[in-house]
Structure 1
Amino acid sequence: MEILSKIPAKSLVRFRCVSKFFRALIADHGFGVLHRSLSLTLPSRASFLISIEVRTRDGDDPPRRGYYTLNFSEQENLRRRRMLRANRVGFLDSEPFLLSSPSDGLICASKPNGDVAVRNVGMRQRIFLPRLNQYQGEDCALLLGFDSQSKRYKVLMSVQIVDEESRLISYEYKHWVFTVGVDRSWREINNYCYCPFFPIGDYPHCDYNNTNVYVDGVIYSYNWRTNHSLVPSIVAFEVGCESFSVIILPDEITSRSSYLLFKKSALLEVGGRLAIVFVHVPDLLDILRGGECLCYMDVWTWEKSKKCWEKITITIPLAGSRLIHNAKWMRFATNHDGEIMLLLYTYSEKFSILIYNLKGDAWSKFDISGVEKFQIFSSWKVTLHNIVDHVFPLE
Structure 2
Amino acid sequence: MSASTLPQEILMEILSKLPAKTLVRFRCVSKFFCALIVDHGFGVVHRSLSLTLPSRAGFLISIELRTPPFAPLRRVYYTLNFSPHRRGTVQANRVGYLDAAPFLISSSSDGLICVSKPKGDVAVCNVSTGQRIFLPRIQYKDYAPYLGYDSQSKRYKVLMATKMIDPESNNYLYNNYKYKLWVFTVGVDRSWREINNCGSYIFHPSFYNSNTCVYIDGVIYSHNSLNKHSMFHKFHIETFEVGCESFSAITLPDEISEKYLDFENSALLEVGGRVAMVFVHLHPILGGGEGVCYMDVWTWEKSEKCWEKNTITTIPLEWSRIIYYAKCLRFASNHDGEIVLLCIYVKQLFIFVCNLKSEVWKKFDVSGVDDFPIFSYWEVTLNNIVDHVFPLE
Using the TM superposition, name which of 209-218 and 290-299 deviates more. Answer: 290-299
Is 1:373 the equivalent of 2:374? Answer: no
1:265-284 mapped onto 2 (5 Å cutoff): 265-283=266-284
Contact 2:165/2:177, CA 8 A, preserved across alignment: no
Counterpart-to-counterpart distance in 2, 1:53 and 1:96: 8
2:323 is paired with a residue whose SS is helix
Is 1:254 the equivalent of 2:257? Answer: yes
Contact 2:163/2:205, CA 8 A, preserved across alignment: no
1:131 is paired with a residue whose SS is coil
Contact 2:342/2:350, CA 8 A, preserved across alignment: yes
Partner residue, 1:148 = 151
1:25-44 mapped onto 2 (5 Å cutoff): 25-44=36-55
- Identical-residue share of aligned pairs (%): 65
Partner residue, 2:77 = 67
Using the TM superposition, name which of 189-198 and 366-375 deviates more. Answer: 189-198
Partner residue, 1:209 = 210
Counterpart-to-counterpart distance in 2, 1:154 and 1:91: 23
**Inter-CA distance 215–29: structure 2 relative to 1 (3 Å threshold):** closer
Partner residue, 1:24 = 35
Partner residue, 1:162 = 165
Q: CA deviation at 1:62?
A: 2.6
Counterpart-to-counterpart distance in 1, 2:223 and 2:159: 14
Write the deviation string for residues 289-333 of structure 1: whole angstroms up to 9, x where unpaired.
057833100000001111111001001221221111220000000
Contact 2:299/2:308, CA 8 A, preserved across alignment: yes
Write the deviation string for residues 252-288 of structure 1: whole angstroms up to 9, x where unpaired.
1115255xx21110000111111000001013xx34x
Q: CA deviation at 1:165?
A: 8.4
1:1-395 mapped onto 2 (5 Å cutoff): 1-2=11-12, 3-56=14-67, 58-72=68-82, 75-79=83-87, 82-132=88-138, 135-137=139-141, 139-163=142-166, 170-191=176-197, 193-199=201-207, 208-229=209-230, 230-256=233-259, 258=261, 261-283=262-284, 286-287=285-286, 289-290=287-288, 293-315=291-313, 316-346=315-345, 348-374=346-372, 379=376, 381-395=379-393
Contact 1:353/1:367, CA 8 A, preserved across alignment: yes
Counterpart-to-counterpart distance in 1, 2:99 and 2:115: 13
Counterpart-to-counterpart distance in 1, 2:91 and 2:226: 40
2:86 is paired with a residue whose SS is helix
- The letter of the residue matching 2:71 is D
Partner residue, 2:3 = none
Q: CA deviation at 1:89?
A: 1.1
CA RMSD, 1 decimal: 2.3
Counterpart-to-counterpart distance in 2, 1:355 and 1:177: 35
Q: CA deviation at 1:40?
A: 3.8
TM-score by length of 2: 0.88
1:330 is paired with a residue whose SS is strand
Write the deviation string for residues 38-90 of structure 1: whole angstroms up to 9, x where unpaired.
4344444211001000223x534333211111111xx22321xx222111111
Using the TM superposition, name which of 39-48 and 244-253 deviates more. Answer: 39-48
1:23 is paired with a residue whose SS is helix
Counterpart-to-counterpart distance in 1, 2:17 and 2:126: 18
1:112 is paired with a residue whose SS is coil
Write the deviation string for residues 19-56 of structure 1: whole angstroms up to 9, x where unpaired.
33223332334433443344344444211001000223
Counterpart-to-counterpart distance in 1, 2:258 and 2:117: 36
Contact 1:101/1:143, CA 8 A, preserved across alignment: yes
Q: CA deviation at 1:364?
A: 0.6
List gaps (5 residues or longer) in structure 2.
1-10
Counterpart-to-counterpart distance in 1, 2:164 and 2:71: 31
Counterpart-to-counterpart distance in 2, 1:161 and 1:63: 22
Q: CA deviation at 1:171?
A: 4.5
Q: How many residues align?
A: 373
Counterpart-to-counterpart distance in 1, 2:341 and 2:263: 15
- The letter of the residue matching 1:32 is G
1:86 is paired with a residue whose SS is strand
Contact 2:121/2:135, CA 8 A, preserved across alignment: yes
Contact 1:172/1:226, CA 8 A, preserved across alignment: no
